[in-house]
């Protein structure tokens, strides 16, 4: 009986680990979505002086996660994971042309790269991630938290290059934002599609202003 129990434990652990490996792969910076080319309006915020150091970056990203795109994305992801058809809605709530292109191009690249794990239709990025999670039976809570962490990591990486900011400072910001990431992912669990919306007006304006910014390193 003891031997059988040991075998069951090992099998369960390996199954959980295989799901973890999928998440790590899909949301890794090395996954070919082209996410490194987007700053989500952060490039304009740096030029305007809104984001200029470690402290201001942390405040900016905390708001984007809890009250802006991060929150909306994780709500859309959860509903896509549950089988809801939210592609058109995800496109419609983008507040600017660059934001709509960003989520569309990332989603298309993600769907193409994810083919080894199952075919999904091209969709805005969080919807594509949610759909692939559903196909692979990835836990919804894990998927939501991992997506938000990857979203935040990508913006921190952009800020390190833009401000410029040292790698250690970037890691401190990422560590400090962990509670915001987890709280936002948790609150989205009970959010309905009617809860979509935001209050990050300066971030939305940054995305609009970036469209005509004279010198740009990033596509958004």
The pLDDT of residue 16 is: 84
Phi, psi of 14 (to 5 degrees): -65, -35
In the chain, how many H helices and how many E strands?
11, 0
CATH number corresponding to 51-210: 1.10.4190.10
Render the burial of 1-24: b for 16+ CB within 10 Å, e for the rest. eeeeeeeeeeeeeeeeeebeebbe
Average pLDDT over residues 33-49: 95
Please check whether residue 132 is in contact with residue 161, taking contact to mean a CB–CB distance below 8 angstroms: no
Segments making up each domain of the chain, as ranges:
51-210
pTM over 0.75: yes
Rg of the chain over all Cα atoms, to the nearest angstrom: 18
Indicate whether 9 pLDDT > 70: no
pLDDT (0 to 100) of residue 19: 87
pLDDT at residue 72, rounded to an integer: 98
pLDDT at residue 10 above 70? no
Local confidence band at 4 (pLDDT 50, 70, 90 cut-offs): very low
Encoding tokens for residue 1?
């009986």
Number of C-beta neighbours around residue 213 at 10 A = 15
Integer Cα distance of 38 and 58 in angstroms: 18
Peptide bond into 164 cis (omega under 30): yes
**What is the C-alpha separation between 216 and 57, in angstroms, rounded?**
19
Give the pLDDT confidence of 154-203 residue by residue, as tens digits.
999 999 999 999 999 999 999 999 999 999 999 999 999 999 998 999 99
Q: What distance in Å separates the CA atoms of residue 131 and residue 78, rounded to the nearest whole number?
A: 9
pLDDT surpassing 90 at residue 151: yes
pLDDT tens for residues 78-134? 999 999 999 999 999 999 999 999 999 999 999 999 999 999 999 999 999 999 999
Query: What is d(CA 19, CA 188) in angstroms, rounded to the nearest whole number?
Result: 22
Task: Determine the 3-state secondary structure of 165 from DSSP.
Answer: coil
Neighbours of 88 (CB within 10 A): 11
| Interval 203-215: pLDDT, tens | 999 999 999 999 8
Per residue in 13-31, pLDDT (tens digit) is 444 888 889 999 999 999 9
Asked if residue 3 has pLDDT above 90, the reply is no
């Amino acid at each position: 009986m003891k031997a059988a129990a040991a075998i069951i434990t090992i099998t369960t652990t390996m199954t959980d680990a295989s799901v973890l490996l999928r998440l790590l792969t899909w949301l890794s910076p090395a996954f070919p979505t082209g996410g490194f080319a987007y700053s989500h309006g952060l490039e304009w915020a740096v030029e305007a002086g809104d984001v200029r150091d470690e402290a201001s970056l942390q405040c900016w990203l905390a708001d984007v996660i809890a009250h802006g795109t991060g929150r909306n994305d994780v709500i859309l992801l959860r509903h896509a994971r549950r089988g809801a058809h939210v592609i058109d809605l995800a496109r419609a709530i983008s507040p600017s042309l660059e934001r709509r292109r960003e989520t569309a191009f990332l989603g298309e690249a993600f769907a193409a790269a994810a083919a080894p794990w199952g075919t999904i239709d091209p969709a805005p990025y969080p919807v594509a991630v949610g759909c692939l999670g559903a196909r692979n039976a990835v836990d919804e809570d894990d998927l939501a938290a991992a997506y938000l962490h990857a979203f935040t990591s990508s913006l921190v990486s952009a800020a390190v290059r833009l401000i410029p900011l040292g790698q250690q400072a970037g890691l401190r910001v990422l560590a400090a934002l962990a509670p915001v990431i987890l709280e936002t992912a948790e609150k989205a669990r009970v959010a309905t599609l009617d809860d979509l919306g935001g209050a990050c007006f300066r971030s939305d304006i940054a995305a609009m202003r970036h469209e005509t910014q004279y010198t740009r390193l990033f596509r958004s």
